[in-house]
């Protein structure tokens, strides 16, 4: 019985706190959030027509909202224009721009009791300049590669999720090696290069992906994230991307010109187009559970205290381990998540989404996401981490935990049971797994083999990380042994088995993946 499979390159599950230490994590808890108006239309952010662009932002508690226009993406120069937005129904403010202003950069400010907020793009911004400081007046539909309208998702009709084989990869690491044979090292465009080889003559890049026989590439976060300084890309910098800044924008450091929002959009689409041409689907790793910080980001600056969860004493929830957690159960945050995912699926032809710390989100939101996305793509792939990194103000019964997977029929969760069963515990580096001779973990391996469902030949009391079946169908259980969970599989096996020969390590490695 085949399972929903994942193979990957990297290691480390909860890297967040170390990456984000020192970030400001404060918000002011607001009362009576249920009284905030809910805007129904799907036209927040920028919309476009032949004559004009319309910018709408939801800021129900603001006394005023203004937009500042700039000729450059960064700099200390004064705005070339400043204008007030007009308040409409349900807390939405709007302003019209003639198309002659296309290409200019913009920021928003909201006036509350304490004065004007910091300048930020709007939450729905689809194009930004360097470091995501300013939005850009660009129609993404005009920023596509040649024949983009003819791009088609791979034909997975007749296949079931059980047949999918997903390969996790970091955009930069995919090509950055000096031996990769690729020209656009560390960039989206590296995925478009064919015929590349390493010094030993072995295929690299997209050719290697194809020869492995995978069905999908899972991109570690490729939206605009905070840590990389895009004004210093000639210097060594690194981040995995789990520090979101602008959710609807491709990451600038992976483009050839992060100062131009249109370049990011075009090159991301070229990557997707090239993968689709080879019959490979594209999955995005999405991190709607927290942001890189709260102060200085659009959510908190425009609507203080709304988008983040708080405890009763007004302190921020921190189920992410990063200082904050997003409130998916708030109607306008739920709306944002759904519309953001639909945007990536429709504008960029994304084939699936992996949800970081999915259990921070509520079950209802995840079910609505699945319903909305499957309407336009019946084969959309949806899966996530069925746990949190800490406690949450969201009641346990409402969390999208792996224990609640049966309540989300079209969504899968990672099986850390078989992962830790095969190679040993992910954070206990010297612990041995089944492939190293620790046969006490065999029930955990069997759990993954049957896909997390109820099975009479499994002793659930001997399974790690759970004591019961949690999948209603095998396709809801994502079987894997090596993706970003600390050491790579080879390194984990080598540390846990210092006495093993190279031949034995290779055999353990092969056995691990054979079981998957």
DSSP symbols for 456-486: TT--GGG-TT-SS---SSGGGEEEES-SSSS
Contact 457, 446 (CB under 8 A): yes
> Is residue 356 among the annotated active site residues?
yes
Tokens representing 452?
């997390």
- Among 408, 411, 401, 412, smallest CA distance to 358 is for 401
pLDDT at 10: 37
Q: Assign 268 to helix, strand or coil.
A: helix
pLDDT at 158: 85
> Is residue 417 among the annotated active site residues?
no
- Among 167, 12, 9, 6, smallest CA distance to 490 is for 9
> Quick count: other Cβ atoms within 10 Å of Cβ 116?
15
Catalytic residue among 224, 301, 385, 420: 385
Contact 307, 316 (CB under 8 A): no
pLDDT at 20: 40
CA 25 to chain centre: 21
Give DSSP secondary structure letters for 297-310: SHHHHHSTTTSB-B
> How far, in Å, CA of 156 to CA of 67, rounded?
45
pTM: 0.95
Q: Which residues does 177 contact at the CB level (< 8 Å), separation at least 6?
A: 185, 198
Give, as one character, the DSSP assignment of residue 117.
Answer: P
Contact 420, 442 (CB under 8 A): no
Tokens representing 59?
């800021």
Residues of the chain with pLDDT under 70: 1-24
> How far, in Å, CA of 338 to CA of 279, rounded?
26
Catalytic residue among 243, 270, 356, 473: 356
Q: Which residues does 499 contact at the CB level (< 8 Å), separation at least 6?
A: none
Give, as one character, the DSSP assignment of residue 319.
Answer: T
pLDDT at 12: 35
Q: CA of 32: how far to CAs of 64, 87, 366, in Å? A: 21, 21, 24
pLDDT at 319: 97
The model's pLDDT over 363-410, given as tens digits with 9 standing for 90+, comes to: 999 999 999 999 999 999 999 999 999 999 999 999 999 999 999 999
pLDDT at 401: 98
């Amino acid at each position: 019985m085949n399972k929903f499979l994942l193979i990957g390159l990297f290691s480390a599950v909860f890297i967040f706190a170390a990456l984000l230490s020192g970030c400001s994590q404060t918000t002011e808890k607001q009362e009576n959030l249920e009284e905030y108006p809910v805007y129904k239309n799907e036209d927040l952010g920028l919309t476009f027509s032949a004559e004009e662009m319309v910018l709408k932002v939801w800021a129900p508690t603001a006394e005023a909202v203004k937009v500042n226009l700039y000729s450059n993406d960064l700099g200390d120069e004064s705005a070339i224009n400043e204008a007030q937005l007009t308040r409409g129904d349900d807390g939405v403010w709007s302003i019209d721009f003639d198309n002659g202003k296309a290409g200019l950069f913009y920021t928003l400010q909201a006036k509350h009791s304490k004065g004007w907020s910091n300048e930020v793009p709007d939450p729905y911004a689809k194009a930004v300049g360097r470091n995501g400081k300013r939005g850009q007046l660009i129609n993404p539909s005009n920023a596509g590669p040649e024949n983009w309208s003819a791009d088609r998702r791979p034909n997975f009709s007749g296949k079931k999720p059980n047949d999918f084989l997903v390969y996790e990869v970091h955009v930069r690491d995919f090509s950055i090696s000096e031996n990769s044979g690729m020209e656009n090292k560390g960039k989206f465009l590296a995925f478009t290069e064919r015929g590349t080889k390493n010094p030993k003559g072995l295929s690299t890049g997209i050719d290697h992906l194809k020869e492995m026989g995978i069905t999908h590439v899972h991109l570690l976060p490729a939206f605009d994230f905070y840590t990389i300084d895009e004004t210093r890309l000639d210097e060594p910098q690194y981040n995995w991307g789990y520090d979101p800044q602008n959710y609807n924008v491709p990451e600038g450091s992976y483009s050839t010109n992060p100062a131009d929002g249109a370049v990011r959009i075009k090159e991301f689409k070229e990557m997707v187009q090239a993968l689709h041409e080879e019959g490979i689907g594209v999955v995005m790793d999405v991190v709607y559970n927290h942001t890189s910080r709260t102060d200085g980001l659009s959510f908190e600056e425009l609507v203080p205290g709304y988008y983040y969860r708080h405890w009763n004493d007004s302190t921020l929830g921190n189920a992410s381990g990063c200082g904050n957690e997003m409130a998916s159960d708030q109607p306008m945050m739920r709306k944002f998540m759904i519309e953001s995912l639909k945007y990536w699926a429709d504008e960029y032809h994304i084939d699936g989404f992996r949800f970081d710390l999915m259990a921070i989100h509520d079950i209802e939101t995840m079910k609505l996401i699945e319903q909305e996305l499957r309407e336009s793509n019946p084969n959309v792939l949806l899966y996530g981490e069925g746990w949190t990194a800490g406690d949450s103000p969201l009641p346990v019964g409402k969390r999208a935990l792996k224990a609640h997977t049966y309540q989300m029929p079209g969504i899968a969760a990672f099986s850390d049971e078989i992962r830790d069963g095969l190679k040993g515990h992910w954070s206990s580096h010297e612990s041995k797994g089944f492939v190293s001779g620790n046969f006490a973990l065999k029930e955990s391996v069997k759990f993954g083999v049957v896909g997390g469902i109820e099975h009479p030949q499994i002793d659930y009391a001997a399974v790690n990380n759970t004591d019961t079946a949690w999948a209603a169908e095998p396709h809801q259980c994502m079987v894997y042994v090596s993706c970003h969970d600390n050491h790579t599989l080879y390194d984990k096996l080598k540390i846990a088995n210092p006495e093993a020969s190279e031949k034995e390590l290779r055999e353990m490695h092969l056995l691990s993946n054979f079981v998957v």
